[in-house]
Amino acid sequence: MGLAELTLIQKIAVGALPVILAITVHEFAHGWVASKFGDQSAKMLGRLTLNPIKHIDPIGTILVPIVLLIFTGFVFGWAKPVPVNANNFKSPSTDMAWVAIAGPISNFLMAFGWAVVLKIGFLVQASTPEVGQFLIYSGVIGVSINLILGILNLLPIPPLDGSHIASAFLSKRLAWQFNRIAPYGFFILIGLMLLGLLTPLIMGPFNMAKGLLYTMVGL
């Protein structure tokens, strides 16, 4: 029984936890690292929490992942960005880079965790098929959503996390000019997708990372 054979309710049940965790922990990681560097914006606004309700975006966290999961098997989503004020940092550019990379790192760590879940699913499938299958499906989705979210966010396209990392290596003037394209970042991503360039940018690293994870857990 494959993921495509699941009913609508089963697909939503299997995909809900991995997607919500991936998005929630990603945003929490940004806020937590920012707080360590002196910016308490997320904490003051109640966003320094693992409570998914505080981070959910109705479109990006619920509607888009469900539609994608049902019709394509590809899962992606986003949450409300955690507020970060770089003016509160001692070294705004460098500290912001650490805050930015915290999100993708959290996703890669979660991807490893879901790979372990996947391994356990295969181990228990013979004795308890239903539990094993649920763990396998959850593990596959958990690995996929976290790797895709982590890799996509590392692209140096404002306002993605990768743009803040890239800005740390630019002069203040160049970084300012570079980040001026942030309002158009979404349209740049759509353009790359329509040109067929976004998929190879993501899937190449995705396949390498997934292969490494599966090797690490013995799959």
Catalytic center residues: 27
How many other CB atoms are found less than 10 A from the CB of residue 1?
A: 10
**4 burial class (0-12, 13-18, 19+ CB within 10 angstroms)?**
exposed
- In angstroms, rounded to a whole number, what is the distance separating the alpha carbons of residues 11 and 54? 24
Enumerate long-range contacts of 169-174, CB under 8 Å, 24 or more apart: 172/93
Strand (E) or helix (H) holding 60: none
Distances (CA, A) of 13 to 68, 105, 181: 14, 26, 38
